[in-house]
Homo-oligomer: A and B are copies of this chain.
Amino acid sequence: MHIDVQFFPFPPSPHLLSDRTIVVIDVLRATSVMVYAMAHGAKEIVPVKTVEEAFQLAKTFVRNTTLLGGERESNRIEGFDLGNSPGEYTSEKVAGKRLILTTTNGTRAFHSVSSAAEILVGSFFNVTATAHRCLEGERDLLLFPSGDEGNFSLEDTVCGGMVIDRIVKKVKKPVTLTDTSHSAHILFQRFQANLVEAFYLSSHGKDLVDRGHGEDLPYCAQVDITNMVPAFKEGVIR
């Protein structure tokens, strides 16, 4: 099994996508929101790139079946039902509902890897289940941190490193790591005793604190609160 990590959120080369499992990771906060919402009974999530697209798509569904969620500049979008803090996505609000989600980094990432064989939604909330699902797939793996506005993201890479850690501890076959997957694993090892420390050091974590969303940092650092591993297929996360 070959494990690679793409450190920058550019659309990967086609040869990195075909016949691979991709794990999209945006722990602050898009993939944390997705995993949390699906674990709390959401029916499905449609990640879209723009606010306009979200409003247009919502009009095509029956009223009250669909909620709009996401952020721009880390804040809830005017006219949307929910922001981008996972704790908002309670069973009372999301059970049985379709969510249309648009965020700065995370939702876009799914569209840039859409030709892959299998696309999973990873976060600390479901990190061990994600690793085990990757092992079941038996495909080579590309971890895809969604980044911070086009830049390398420390916290997403640490989460990718934790997926690698869980895989290498369980896998029976030989695993080959690249320079980036070795590095992600080492970065996870540095922060494993205190994951939230990586969040507070990171540029995006500091930015969230400055914008009044500091409570989301320890929240998103919770590990293995669910076994659910949502997958993105044909434009929809289920």
A187 and B183 in contact, given A7-B152, A152-B7 (Cβ under 8 angstroms)? yes
Given the complex, which residues of B lie within 8 Å of A202, measured CB to CB? 179, 182
Render A157-194 as a binary contact track against B, CB cut-off 8 A, 1 for contact.
10000000000000000000111101100110110000
Interface assignment of A154: CB less than 8 Å from any CB of chain B: yes
Chain B: CB-nearest residue to A178: B203
A157 x B183 contact (CB < 8 A): yes
Interface assignment of A18: CB less than 8 Å from any CB of chain B: no
Given the complex, which residues of B lie within 8 Å of A152, measured CB to CB? 7, 179-180, 183
Cβ-neighbour of A179 out of B179, B186, B190, B203 (below 8 A): B203
Given the complex, which residues of B lie within 8 Å of A153, measured CB to CB? 179
> For residues 127 through 178 of chain A, which have their beta carbon under 8 Å from a beta carbon of chain B?
148, 151-154, 157, 177-178
Q: At the interface, is chain A mostly helix, strand, loop or mixed?
A: helix
Given the complex, which residues of B lie within 8 Å of A151, measured CB to CB? 179-180
Interface assignment of A80: CB less than 8 Å from any CB of chain B: no
Interface assignment of A117: CB less than 8 Å from any CB of chain B: no
Complex Cα–Cα for A179 and B182 (A): 17
Given the complex, which residues of B lie within 8 Å of A8, measured CB to CB? 7-8
Chain B: CB-nearest residue to A4: B151
**18 additional A-B residue pairs with CB within 8 Å, beyond A153-B179, A154-B182, A178-B203:** A7-B7, A7-B8, A7-B152, A8-B8, A148-B179, A151-B180, A152-B179, A154-B179, A157-B183, A177-B201, A179-B202, A179-B203, A179-B204, A182-B202, A183-B183, A183-B187, A186-B187, A187-B187
